[in-house]
Amino acid sequence: MSVTTFETMGTVVSVRGAATATVSAVRAVFAGYDRRYSLYDPASVLSRIAAGSLRLADSPDEVRAVYALALEWRDRTGGAFTPHRPDGVIDLSGVVKALAIQAAGAALDAAVAPGDAGDASWMLNAGGDVLVRGRHGADPWSVGIVDPDQRDVVVGVVQLDDRRAVATSGTAERGEHVWRRSAPTFRQATVIADDIVTADVLATAVVAGDEDDLRRITGDGTVDVLAFGVDGRVWATPGATGLVRAGSPSPAA
Amino acid sequence: MRARVIAGGVVTSAAVLVIGWQLGGQPAVTAQSGAATGSTSGSSSSSGTGSSSSGTGSSSSAGSGTSSSVSGTFAGAATQTQFGPVQVQIVVADGKITDVTALQLTDRDGRSEQISQQAAPILRQEALQAQSAKIQAVSGATYTSEGYTTSLQSAIDKAGL
């Protein structure tokens, strides 16, 4: 299957199952989001807001809509996810990457010919945040999960059969858009969801939160979570237990 | 290589339970799909040092075509991490990853050397552990794994899996 990769937003994006022209459209989507929301770029809309040279109220509608969405997620996660840095700066990177992936996915969908809609397949991976459509040949698209304690180890495989999105968040994530409210409970969290924004935001929320937050987030059963605790325990929703290859249980341990 | 601690029982929430397992353990894990790996470094060598570049570099550049038939050796792009450059090479047989090796895992300071010597053998064995399923992407978050993840993804991309 054809694979195209490019760098954007400080990470690497790979696209499978897309024609060259479509990949160009995908690349443009990411570039657009990066331009508006990057805090690394002093000219971005968000950087100007952070610097005080642009009022949020005067920013483009779309930027305010993203901020509103981030606030909505803050409320839905009981504050575990928040767009506000401890220093007060608005940082939307917690949602922007996922929104860019979502929009890029829409561009990939738009390129599917109507007659092919039934079996169109693609995979979009932006630095480990993965959105798919269809299947990889006869098999589901599959994503390996990296062990947070042993950096070079793939501990499990997520097969995207019913759900379309996987995202992983961790304590030392680049950009550090995870701000904890207390001592860390989790080192890494992978969330499998129907859409990439939900997966990404909730992965961040789990890592930022504690066990109660995890219970709340998984309470309605709409997502699956695999979370690695700082104490060595691993938490999984029933649907996620099968992701990790269970070695022989070691009662002695 | 250590056993991961088991947390007993089911925890309060109906939706969440705690699981434990033993990682690493016996190198003898994985009856790895039996695919005919042929060429590369098939056996032993687990306790080696970090850079075992062994130069099998040539990829069969299968490029397009159905992914299930991809075979060859693919080196990912080298990625910078705080511990120095990381580069990963995979061996693919019939679309499945049958071996993963770290080509580079060193830096000038001693700490990184140490890390590389510990990590590389684990990397091969453990990565193999997950290869009973085919993967097209990796997802992870720790800063140190990022370079590895990026390079591994790069190798997977080059193989066109």
Strand partners, A4: A15
pLDDT at B84: 62
pLDDT at A187: 87
Higher pLDDT, A220 or B40: A220
Query: Among residues A69, A62, A36, which one has the least CA distance to residue A50?
Result: A36
B144: nearest CA in chain A? A151
Q: Look at residue B36 and tell me whether its pLDDT is greater than 90.
A: no
Query: Among residues B38, B40, B73, which one has the least CA distance to residue B59?
Result: B73
The alpha-carbon radius of gyration of chain B (Å, integer) is 17
Shortest distance, CA B38 to any CA of chain A (angstroms): 23
> Pseudo-torsion of CA A77, A228, B128, B74, nearest 10°?
50
Tell me, letter by letter, the H, E, C secondary structure of A29-64: HHHHHHHHHCCCCCCCHHHHHHHCCCCHHHCCHHHH
Query: Among residues A161, A179, A159, which one has the least CA distance to residue A169?
Result: A179
Residues of B in contact with A250 (CB under 8 A): 3, 6, 20-22
A115 interface with B at CB cutoff 8 Å: no
Residues of A in contact with B4 (CB under 8 A): 232, 234, 253
Residues of B in contact with A134 (CB under 8 A): none
Give the integer Cα–Cα distance in Å for A68 and A59.
13
Q: What is the pLDDT along chain A (253 residues), one digit of tens a residue?
A: 688 989 888 788 999 999 889 999 999 999 999 988 888 889 999 899 888 899 989 999 999 999 999 999 999 998 999 998 888 888 888 899 999 999 999 999 999 888 777 779 999 999 889 999 999 988 899 998 887 776 666 778 898 988 999 999 987 544 444 556 567 888 889 999 999 999 999 999 999 898 888 888 888 788 999 888 887 777 888 777 766 644 333 333 2
- The tokens for B101 are 């090796």
Backbone angles phi and psi of A165, in degrees to 5: -135, 145
Give the integer Cα–Cα distance in Å for A142 and A127.
15
Shortest distance, CA B39 to any CA of chain A (angstroms): 23
Distance of CA A118 to the CA centre of its chain: 26
The alpha-carbon radius of gyration of chain A (Å, integer) is 18
**What is the pLDDT confidence band of residue B64, given thresholds at 50, 70 and 90?**
very low
Angle between helices A196-208 and A61-76 (to 10 degrees): 50
Strand partners, A193: A165
Residues of A in contact with B149 (CB under 8 A): 128, 146
What rounded mean pLDDT belongs to chain B? 51
Backbone angles phi and psi of A82, in degrees to 5: -150, 145
Question: What number does CATH give the domain A3-133+140-241?
Answer: 3.10.520.10
Please tell me the least confidently modeled range out of A155-159, B52-56, B61-65, B84-88. B52-56
In this complex, the residue of B67, B120, B142 whose CB is nearest that of residue A148 is: B142
Please tell me the least confidently modeled range out of A111-120, A240-249, B28-37, B97-106. B28-37
Where are chain A's structural domains?
3-133+140-241
Determine the residue among B139, B144, B145, B161 to mutate to test chain A binding: the one whose Cβ has the most chain A Cβ atoms within 10 Å.
Answer: B139
Higher pLDDT, B141 or A235: A235
Tally C-beta pairs within 8 A across A and B: 221
pLDDT at B44: 32
Determine the residue among B74, B83, B92, B142 to mutate to test chain A binding: the one whose Cβ has the most chain A Cβ atoms within 10 Å.
Answer: B142
Q: Please name the residue that has the structure tokens 């309470």.
A: A219
**What is the pLDDT confidence band of residue B99, given thresholds at 50, 70 and 90?**
confident
A218: nearest CA in chain B? B15
